């Protein structure tokens, strides 16, 4: 079995509304997501991806379109966050591109969301081994699909 990993990075703001420390205040991170896929390499003679589990160019394109381009330079807000809903409602929400989501934007919830966004984008022959989301250079969360 072979494993291949591609990463993508983006800048994003968030806050953890119920947190009893600094994370309750709006702030940002440089996020890094590493996606590891496993599978056999392509054996189709003369195919562009012959000898590859997945073409890294195709892998990168999916991560850019489904993760980076949605989240980069956005503020991710929990739709149950009453303070942010009040502050960013109406046209201000659109102008500032606040992205409201149905979950508290922790690393754990965000990496799970990333998996759901990505799982149907790859060949059925590939299996997700792990998604690792770094919120800081020293803090990360792993999502290990069943």
Q: Which residues are tagged catalytic? A: 23, 73, 135
Assess contact for 39 and 129: CB atoms under 8 A. no
What's the token pair of residue 133? 């989301």
- CA separation, residue 19 to residues 23, 31, 106, 131 (Å): 6, 20, 10, 25
The distance of Cα 25 from the centroid of its chain, to the nearest Å, equals: 22
What is the distance between the alpha carbons of residues 108 and 133, in angstroms, rounded to a whole number? 8
């Amino acid at each position: 079995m072979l494993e291949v990993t591609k990463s993508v990075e983006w800048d994003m703001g968030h806050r953890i509304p119920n947190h009893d420390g600094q994370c309750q205040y709006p702030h940002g991170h440089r996020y890094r997501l590493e996606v590891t896929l496993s599978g056999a390499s392509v054996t189709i003679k003369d195919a562009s991806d012959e000898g590859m589990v997945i073409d890294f160019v195709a892998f990168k394109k999916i991560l850019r379109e489904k993760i980076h381009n949605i989240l980069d330079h956005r503020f991710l807000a929990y739709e149950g966050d009453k303070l942010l809903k009040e502050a960013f409602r109406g046209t201000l929400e659109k102008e500032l591109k606040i992205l409201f989501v149905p979950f508290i934007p922790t690393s754990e919830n965000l990496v799970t969301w990333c998996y759901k966004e990505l799982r149907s984008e790859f060949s059925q022959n590939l299996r997700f081994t792990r998604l690792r989301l770094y919120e800081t250079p020293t803090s990360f969360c792993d999502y290990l699909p069943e």
